[in-house]
Amino acid sequence: MKMPEKIGTEMFAPCGVNCQACYAHLRTKDNCGGCLVSGAKKRGSCSSCIRKNCAAEKGITYCYECDDFPCRKIKSLDKSYRLRYGISLIDNGFTAREKTIGEFLKQDREYFLCKECGGIICEHNGTCSECGIKKEEGQ
Ligand SMILES: [Zn+2]
C-alpha cells in the first residue's frame, strides 16, 4: 500500500497504535479499516479491546486523555510493542498529547514511509507493504 500524503487522525488508535502501518490494515484480504474508523471492519483482537472499551466507559477516546495514563492495561501492551516492534505506545500517547495527534502522525508518516518506493512499512514486520524491502535499523 502506498503511503498517503497525510495520515488521517482517525488512524490513531486509542492505545497509541498507528493503524495506518498495522499489518491488519495493510493486508490485501479481509483488511481492518482502523480502530476508530466507523463502520469499518476491525481486526479480531482489536474489536473487543479492553483499552478501547475502558476509554469509552470513561467518556474519552484516547488513553492519553486519562488521569490514570499510563495505567497497567496500557503498560502491558506498551511493553510488548517495545520488545517486539521497537515502538512505545506510551511515548506515542505523550507525543500526541503534547503536540496533537496530527503532528504525531506527521512524524510517524516519515518513520514508516519506504524511501525506496513511497509505500508503507509495516510496524509489525518491518517490511514495506509495497516493494517488500526490509526497513533498516535506525533508518
Ligand atoms: Zn517500498
For the segment 114-134, the average pLDDT, to the nearest whole number, is: 96
Question: Band of the pLDDT at 43, cuts 50, 70, 90?
Answer: confident
Find the 48 Cα to ligand 1 centroid distance in Å.
32
Predicted confidence (pLDDT) at residue 133 exceeds the cutoff of 50: yes
Predicted confidence (pLDDT) at residue 139 exceeds the cutoff of 50: no
Rounded distance, CA 47 to CA 70, Å?
21
Residue 132's Cα: distance from chain center in Å?
20
For the segment 100-111, the average pLDDT, to the nearest whole number, is: 98
Question: Band of the pLDDT at 136, cuts 50, 70, 90?
Answer: confident
**Is the C-alpha dihedral spanning 28, 32, 38, 44 positive or negative?**
positive
Rounded distance, CA 51 to CA 54, Å?
5
Domain ranges of the chain: 9-138
Find the 112 Cα to ligand 1 centroid distance in Å.
10
* Residues within 5 A (CB) of ion ligand 1: 114, 116-117, 119, 128, 130-131
Beta bridge partners of 128: 121
pLDDT attached to residue 137: 58
